[in-house]
Structure 1
Amino acid sequence: MQKLELTWIGKGDEPVVEPRILLHDASKDYGDPAADNMLIHGDNLLALKALEQEFAGQVKCIYIDPPYNTGSAFEYYDDNLEHSLWLNLMRPRLIILRNLLSEDGCIWISIDDTEQAYLKVICDEIFGRNNFVQTISNQSTPNGRDYGSFAQTHDFIHIFSKNIRQLKMNKMANDDINKYNKEDEEGAYYLHPLFNSNSNFHKGNRPNLYYPFYVSKKQNNEGYYDLSLIPTEDCVELYPPLSQTDGTQFVWRWGKEKATQYLNKEIVGQLMRNGEFRIAQKMRVKDKIPRTIWVETEFSNRRGTEESQALFAKKKFPYPKPEPLIERILTLGSNPGDLVLDSFLGSGTTSAVAHKMGRRYIGIELGEHCYTHCLPRLKAVVDGEQGGISKTQNWQGGGGFKFYELAPTLIVKDAHGQPIINNKYNAQMLVAAIAKLNGYDYAPDADVFWKQGKSQAGSFIFVTTEYLTAAQLDNISRYLPEYERLLICTPAFDIGLGKRYENINIRKIPQSVLDKCAYGADNYNLNIVNPPELDEDEWEDGEDA
């Protein structure tokens, strides 16, 4: 069946990525040892693949700020190949990111004009067009950059859901609180006329919304005038007014049933200065739906650069996103305790903001700045640094994180070009790696030595570097119930053992894992490790007036 899709050079030829194991480097952990936040140093495609089996369906909110493909990152390639390389960079990562999202999760992707249209199309393909949420225009450079045909002032944030039917996006706190100038036992409010001032709704097409209220002439204890839907003694009959513009007969916004329910509670009679009565609704404070154009100055690149300078002095990071921008995204897309992920962590902004907002997080960064920026920044957050959103979040410090490195590739070539197991792997690493390659979770049983991992289907795996004999297999079988299954991975075994027991499968290593993935690649970053340095002229162009 044919379908509409975007094609490019190399699409569909992506390598099968090796699912590496993660090596915990406890010497770089910081803060609360019970914290499960993760900072991972390594290629983000390899790291995402390492996370996929354990964290599939668990991440509530993903934010990424990938390379924008401005040309500087691909200076040695022609334009057509450049676009293909960028798309090949993004597609396999987006596929895994989608797998990591929870069913009610969402992903936010910052991008500029160069690739935003292509990105939208491949996200439509991977996430489904029906799962597109919105594209935000963020005013990242308020004054623009004075070159080219237009002074570019904004970039974009594409938002997609895993399942639009289950997505529940949060709303924003109401920042116009000053107009709620009255208060009762239910809280703050302001008064707003109950009639509908939209001329498209009138007595002719909404007759059920055209009826009278009866307003008492006596003021009540609240300072208003009691309402009734039936005539009472010494009252004033009041219908919706006529439009002063075109004479349209307005109607109420509420029908009689709702009006009866909230009579003299949420709708009241109000005496105006001109001596006339009106029906007014108490408009309560409520959160608002976010707009699609964000022009807040605290979301600008300059704000992010200022934060970076305060944190790192001369080691400032080029074009970092400001903490308030990530705060807005995590406010809308997640709740306290949810898991947040950023696989292009940069200087560590997303993890720092998630930490301050009480979210759990996983941050992945390949470059040296994982050590020079991300690690010291998150340590400072744990210690209670007061930059960025610390004051608005009342951040005082606390929590912690664990640090991980990617394990080296499992399979290497010997002097004769033959595949062998990497000698950098100890026994524990080997078991964990072979288990992961076969779809098992590494979970050694404390009592049964040959139960080293377990699959979701309930079967077990045993990995050994020793020769497996018939006697050893028979001994294992005595303690394996018929309803359980066991996979044994070994370099060699007695002839005929492969069919000795129906519920035990035996495979040779490394032969049995050679075709599972591509080994030997330490990164898939297309040489985009170090982002372009911040140009002083561009800094001046981006300054606020």
Structure 2
Amino acid sequence: MRLELTWPNKDKFLLAPKDEAGKPVWVDPDHPAASEVRLSDFTDAVGEVSADNPHTDNLLFTGDSLDVLRILAEVPEYAREYRGKVKLVYIDPPFNTGQAFDHYDDWMEHSTWLSFMRDRLLLIKELLAADGSVWVHLDDAEQHRMRCLLDEVFGAQNFVASVAWEKDKGRRNDTAVSGSHDHIHIYAADRRRWGQSRNLLPRTKEQEDRYKNPDADARGPWLQGDNGTAKSASASSRWPIELPSGRVVVPPSGRGWAFGPETFARARAEGRVYFGRNGDGMPIIKKYLTEVQGGVVPRTWWSADEVGHNQEAKRDHLRRMFPDRPPFSTPKPERLLERVIQIGSNPGDIVLDCFGGSGTTAAVAHKMGRRWVTSEIAATTVGDYTRPRLELVVNGDEGGGITEAVGWAGGGGFRSVSVALSMYSATPFGVLLAGWATNGRFARAVAGQLGFDWEPDGAFCGTRGRMRLAVFDGVVGSEEVRQTVAALGDKERVTIVAKAVLPGADEALKQLSQGSKIRKAPRDLLSAGAKRARRRTEAAERAVQLLVAEAAVL
């Protein structure tokens, strides 16, 4: 038996969180928007970018997060670089607080918000590397429901931790209880593998100072402690030890030695026991700095002193970068993202944030030597904040945040990518192709929708193994079929897509090239997309059910 979070319209697709009347718009899963893979275009580049493969560059998308995630997961040119290869996803999605901010309206009904997030998390799961992780940043409004949703998508056994971040050091007096922290839920694609690959945090100066070398030991500083005793010890741990001074000691009442006789004898023979300056102190077995792991295990309480707070990001950073523009209401400090990225990734790894906002995640990832992909739905936000900020980072002209701490002086680059409008238009007469879907752009959109590599070559425009793609911006009949088949290579087959198919064309293709097929746009494109979306949901459900069953056996 499996627990499941349910909500109204869970089996529907959320077309829009709000229409003109402020109501969510729900449609059936076979609606074109529920599975459409939209066309994307590289618009321009900043700094140093690849001359060979633009898909491997740092990418700034302007478009809805759902469309961007679909592009990364399903368009072959992107999927080769990102599907199953993203090491870290950090998202700071709408908190659903009911507030209206300058840059977005943070309100959805609970079921609307859950569907909104579920569709995106399913795609994020496909993009994560086997040792990757997703970090979801929220306040109290929806974080408890998000935990249930993350359990459903990633499996409860892949929950890592919930971090409490002190976002505000002050105190509000106009509320019953003054909230001071946000939640960051961490889930792994595979908790065991992530635990083996995640990074430790550097020791603080205070932690380093606990290691000293009062006896000039050639092996270096060692951990200082009170003495070699421990609480709640058994009677067998209270045995006598003769000190170098000749005095015999036993632990105080209620305590015992923190080591056994054999361990103590071996350490004493190796010169690893400290008896105080005069050889008359309680023994301590030394733990050398050179022998301990190269950092400290992260804790779940992150104070503002350690990683910054909202006002630090708002007052000391964004306002200095953009003094003439209103800052975001709740920006995240770069020190916070530095810690997330430090724990969850390594230089060269891919970091993704599909709710880009002012670009904090991308900026920090860039300064820390990671590859990054970010997206923002509002073109005005991209133009006013995200892109200008990232340009400053690339040019070495952005001196705030972690710039000085990591020694960032500029370099690298990124490409801007725009997401096209829908290829489909819903009308009273059914779903039609949009007016822009003609010629080459129509063919490119079809290639992405059906999972073909875009490779224009004579009669063909795409390739998927031995299957070629031919797209007709109009009618296809028997003669067009014969010409297309004649252009095929040995053992090749073709998928023909046309806006209209004349009688006899399908039969002609069956006779000339078994295994080839004709699809009519938009009808057959919609059915293919619906099947793909259904397989994604069913696969996620099967994976979680399997993991639950395995956990029950264990």
Q: CA offset at residue 498 of structure 1?
A: 3.5
C-alpha spacing 1:392/1:262, structure 2 compared with 1 (3 Å): farther
Residue 104 of structure 1 aligns to a residue whose secondary structure is: strand
1:104-503 to 2 correspondence within 5 Å? 104-167=131-194, 168-175=197-204, 176-182=207-213, 188-192=221-225, 195=228, 197-202=229-234, 204=236, 242-246=250-254, 248-252=255-259, 256=263, 260=266, 264=270, 267-273=272-278, 275-276=280-281, 278-284=283-289, 286-297=294-305, 298-306=307-315, 307-315=317-325, 316-367=327-378, 368-384=380-396, 385-412=398-425, 417=429, 419-440=431-452, 442-444=453-455, 448-450=457-459, 452-455=461-464, 459-465=467-473, 467-468=475-476, 470=478, 473-474=481-482, 477=485, 480=488, 483-491=491-499, 492=501, 494-495=504-505, 496-500=507-511, 501-503=513-515
Residue 133 of structure 1 aligns to a residue whose secondary structure is: strand
Q: Distance in 1 between matches of 2:409 and 2:217?
A: 35
Amino acid at match of 1:386: G
Q: Distance in 2 between matches of 1:506 and 1:185?
A: 78
Q: Which residue of 1 aligns with 2:88?
A: 61
Matching residue within 13, 29, 41 for 1:23: 41
Q: Distance in 2 between matches of 1:81 and 1:23?
A: 30
Contact 2:98/2:108 (CA < 8 Å) preserved in 1?
A: no
Residue 4 of structure 1 aligns to a residue whose secondary structure is: coil
C-alpha spacing 1:408/1:81, structure 2 compared with 1 (3 Å): closer
Q: CA offset at residue 82 of structure 1?
A: 2.0
Contact 1:110/1:158 (CA < 8 Å) preserved in 2?
A: yes
Q: Which residue of 2 aligns with 1:6?
A: 5
Q: Distance in 1 between matches of 2:342 and 2:309?
A: 18
1:511 aligns with 2:511: no
Q: Distance in 2 between matches of 1:381 and 1:254?
A: 58
Q: Output one character per residue of 1:19-58: Cα deviation in whole Å (capped at 9) or x when no partner.
A: 11211111xx211122700001111122222222213212
Amino acid at match of 1:243: P
Q: Output one character per residue of 1:412-466: Cα deviation in whole Å (capped at 9) or x when no partner.
A: 368x8464433324533222211222232x2316xx53553333x6533232336
Q: Distance in 2 between matches of 1:287 and 1:382?
A: 30
Q: Which residue of 2 aligns with 1:525?
A: none
Amino acid at match of 1:18: E
Q: Distance in 2 between matches of 1:278 and 1:516?
A: 73
Amino acid at match of 1:174: R
Matching residue within 29, 51, 57 for 1:36: 57
Q: Distance in 1 between matches of 2:265 and 2:123?
A: 52
Structure 1, 101-110 or 320-329: larger mean CA deviation: 101-110
Amino acid at match of 1:299: G
Residue 152 of structure 1 aligns to a residue whose secondary structure is: coil
As a proportion of its length, which structure holds more helix?
A: 2
Amino acid at match of 1:52: A
Amino acid at match of 1:144: R
Q: Which residue of 2 aligns with 1:224?
A: none
Contact 1:443/1:454 (CA < 8 Å) preserved in 2?
A: yes
C-alpha spacing 1:344/1:490, structure 2 compared with 1 (3 Å): same
C-alpha spacing 1:282/1:249, structure 2 compared with 1 (3 Å): closer
Contact 2:485/2:494 (CA < 8 Å) preserved in 1?
A: no
Residue 345 of structure 1 aligns to a residue whose secondary structure is: coil
What percent of counterpart residues are identical? 30
Q: CA offset at residue 59 of structure 1?
A: 1.0
Contact 2:332/2:360 (CA < 8 Å) preserved in 1?
A: yes
C-alpha spacing 1:355/1:251, structure 2 compared with 1 (3 Å): closer
C-alpha spacing 1:479/1:314, structure 2 compared with 1 (3 Å): closer
Q: CA offset at residue 186 of structure 1?
A: 5.8
C-alpha spacing 1:11/1:274, structure 2 compared with 1 (3 Å): same
Residue 243 of structure 1 aligns to a residue whose secondary structure is: coil
Amino acid at match of 2:469: I
Q: Output one character per residue of 1:190-243: Cα deviation in whole Å (capped at 9) or x when no partner.
A: 455784x33334453x79xx797x98x6xxxxxxxxxxxxxxxxx9798xx633
Contact 1:136/1:156 (CA < 8 Å) preserved in 2?
A: yes
Q: Distance in 2 between matches of 1:354 and 1:211?
A: 56
Q: Distance in 2 between matches of 1:296 and 1:181?
A: 29
Q: Which residue of 2 aligns with 1:533?
A: none
Q: TM-score normalized by structure 1?
A: 0.79
Contact 2:466/2:491 (CA < 8 Å) preserved in 1?
A: no
Contact 2:334/2:401 (CA < 8 Å) preserved in 1?
A: yes
Amino acid at match of 1:139: E
C-alpha spacing 1:255/1:360, structure 2 compared with 1 (3 Å): farther
Q: Which residue of 1 aligns with 2:552?
A: none
Q: CA offset at residue 356 of structure 1?
A: 0.3
Structure 2 gaps, min length 5: 14-28, 51-55, 102-106, 531-554
Q: Which residue of 2 aligns with 1:70?
A: 97
Q: Distance in 2 between matches of 1:129 and 1:50?
A: 28
User: For this pair of structures, how many residues does the alignment match?
Assistant: 477
Q: Distance in 2 between matches of 1:254 and 1:513?
A: 75
Cα RMSD (Å) of the superposition?
3.2
C-alpha spacing 1:467/1:83, structure 2 compared with 1 (3 Å): closer
Q: Which residue of 2 aligns with 1:49?
A: 70
Structure 1 gaps, min length 5: 75-79, 218-234, 519-545
Contact 2:227/2:284 (CA < 8 Å) preserved in 1?
A: yes
Q: CA offset at residue 271 of structure 1?
A: 4.2
Q: Distance in 1 between matches of 2:261 and 2:420?
A: 64
Residue 318 of structure 1 aligns to a residue whose secondary structure is: coil
